[in-house]
Amino acid sequence: MDCFNYPVDSKMLLRKKIQIKKELLSANTSFLEKKIAVLGGSTTGEIVDQLELFLLNEGIRPIFYQSEYAQYWQDAMFGNQVLDSFQPDIVYIHTSWRNIPAFPTVSGSREETNLLLEDTYQHFERMWEKLSERFQCPIIQDNFDRPGWRLLGNRDIYDYRGRTNFIVRLNQMLYQYADEHSSFFVNDVDYLAASYGLDEWSNPKYWHMYGYSLCLEGIPCLAGSVANIIKSIFGKNKKVLVCDLDNTLWDGAVGEVGVEGIQIGVELPLGRIYYEFQQYLRELKSIGVLLAVNSKNDESNALAGLNHPDGVLRPEDFVSIMANWENKDRNMQAIADGLRLGTDSFVFIDDQPAEREIVRQASLGIAIPNTDHVEQYLSAIDRSGYFEVTSLSEDDLSRTDMYRANAGRAQLQEGAESYDAFLRSLKMKATVREFEPICFQRIAQLTNKSSQFNLTTLRCSESDIQKMQEADDYLCLYGRLEDQFGDNGIVSVVAGQIIKNELHMRLWLMSCRVLKRDMESAMLDTLVRDALKIGLDRVIGYYYPTSKNSMVKDFYGRMGFQKTDEDSSGNTVWKLTLKEYSFRHPAIDIRR
């Protein structure tokens, strides 16, 4: 919905929130349901209402617990029956500078200020540790915004007695904690306040009259920022940024003015804007965002423009280049099919409103910022949080290379005598091992991103993965696949709970980029061997249907399982007797 696009339409979200909620609920029948505890140092009612809208828009249906007014610390430290039984999937702590217990005095010494700073930090760290111990779930903490006034004027930022200085130093301690704890995330309210305008954000009327730590119209911006973190944790980020070319990556139509006539580069005033945007896109690529082109152009002209000597991006920076005269909605589907990704993981940037509308009307679920001018592109992408980073793995850093390598595999397949010959020619090697701490982040990331080849649809945090690995009654394996074209990274995860003499599968998923490479057979062969070693007799598999995972509806049957149960919702249960299993021996060298 357009009201969620940057700049957020706060007035509409506040005024029509009931109607918008109904529309969001009716537009989606397959929500990911999550329990979120909101512990507030001020009034949180409207914050929760707006957070619900943003999460519904991302396909997440939240169930909320709210602390009583300003009882965030008491709930965290001492708990209560309602919160303890709620068992949240996420804890969000909404605090502001007004929740800092004490500030330095002008007459205080440097040593007294340092001690106060440490005591203040410990006040919050004890709370985070207590919550982590009790719930073992991700925690989101607001950093501290600045008051709308400075007692010492400009000196307030650098004098040890300044309130602004104290807040900046406290925030730095918070950031250090976040850097050292992978399930702790900072919601950058200090940035939001600066971006919004501190005078309006910190309008004291809302605090003194309503108990809100910020102005009412700023609440949707706050909620959107928290929602970006939550949807990223649960794998709802976008994956691909698709760009038009003419007047989007450079000024001018390359087919009309020639490559020498387009404007791009630091020497030209207008060209500098496009140059900066291309720099930003290259930086997005460096964190794992896939770039693609969808342009009405002759391919030769498109490639000439991308090879402009003053440009930043080159053809090899893109995983797909669709430069033709087809309608852009069809090109979008073709790009998605080639990448084996859903179009709902796409963001589309185009300077032409008519082209954006054609793609929007196709109902492909693509995010489309309403931006007509290059100077708006960067902020529209960045502040919409499409590619919010909550973790950054080695696989993320090399994602473009992985998808480009897939193109090489496709070419090899076209020239192979048979599919079996193609698989053998890949010279595949799989590493299949029990979960290891160094891989917890990527394994958790995969559970939250894989939708099509995901049998049980279980979504896990890093702490969930760690608990599985440490449990005596779990058998957990991850699989990494490489071939002559490169390393695909960790692509498959299976985890089963041991109940008597049976292994009940709680996780079974695989990245779609390695479909039909026999990796599922490699995982099952290894799983069966390990289950036999510990004396198990059967593996019990579960399939829970969603709108995206129908491709694995009959997976167990194809792998030799027998169906034992099916309910009216299509949930199925399957059984594999281990002694009767015929090892599949895929065309993969399996290493342990």
DSSP, residue by residue, 120-161: HHHHHHHHHHHHHHHH-S-EEEE-----S--TTGGGGGTSTT
Average pLDDT over residues 467-494: 93
Nearest to 406 by CA among 479, 314, 315, 485: 485
- Please provide the average confidence, as pLDDT, over all residues in the chain: 93
Sign for the pseudo-dihedral over CA of 356, 358, 359, 364: positive
pLDDT value, residue 391: 86
Label residue 77 by pLDDT band (50, 70, 90). very high
* pLDDT band of 226, cuts 50, 70, 90: very high
What was the pLDDT predicted at 465? 93
Three-state DSSP at 578 gives helix
CB proximity list for 206: less than 8 A, separation 6 or greater: 212, 213, 214, 215, 216
pLDDT in tens, 161-182: 999 999 999 999 999 999 999 8
Q: N- to C-terminal Cα distance for the chain? A: 48
User: What would the mean pLDDT of 423-442 be, rounded to a whole number?
Assistant: 92
Residue 135 pLDDT > 70: yes
Q: What's the CA gap between 226 and 220, in Å, rounded?
A: 10
| Average pLDDT rounded to a whole number, residues 551-578 | 96
Half-sphere exposure of 389 (CA within 13 A, CB side): 13
Higher pLDDT, 446 or 21: 21
Q: What pLDDT does 395 receive?
A: 74
pLDDT at 283 over 90: yes
d(CA 479, CA 301) in angstroms, rounded, equals 42
How far apart CA 17 and CA 281 sit, in angstroms, is 34
Contact between 58 and 227 under an 8 Å Cβ cutoff? The reply is yes
Among the residue ranges 10-24, 96-110, 309-323, 387-401, the one predicted with the least confidence is 387-401
d(CA 175, CA 181): 10
Structure-token pair, residue 83: 């919160």
Percentage of the chain modeled with pLDDT above 70 = 99
Which runs of consecutive H residues, i.e. helices, occur in 458-518?
Answer: 462-470
Residue 269 pLDDT exceeds 90: no
Q: Does domain 417-591 have CATH number 3.40.630.30?
A: yes
The average pLDDT across 217-230 equals 97
In this predicted structure, the answer to whether residue 584 has a pLDDT above a threshold of 80 is yes
417-591 has the same fold as 240-384:
no
pLDDT at 397: 75
Q: How confident is the model at residue 62 (pLDDT cuts 50, 70, 90)?
A: very high
Among candidate residues 235, 141, 122, 227, the one with its CA nearest the CA of residue 183: 141
Q: Where are the domains of the chain?
A: 2-233, 240-384, 417-591
pLDDT in tens, 245-268: 999 999 999 999 999 999 999 988
Closest CA to 362 of 333, 321, 405: 333
**Phi and psi at residue 242, in whole multiples of 5°?**
-100, 130
Q: What is the pLDDT of residue 51?
A: 98
Fold of 240-384: Rossmann fold (3.40.50)
**For residue 215, which phi and psi values (nearest 5 degrees)?**
-70, 155
For residue 407, the model assigns a pLDDT of: 66
> Could you give the CA distance from residue 585 to residue 154 in angstroms, rounded to a whole number?
71
pLDDT computed for residue 378 by the predictor: 94
CATH topology of domain 2-233: Rossmann fold (3.40.50)
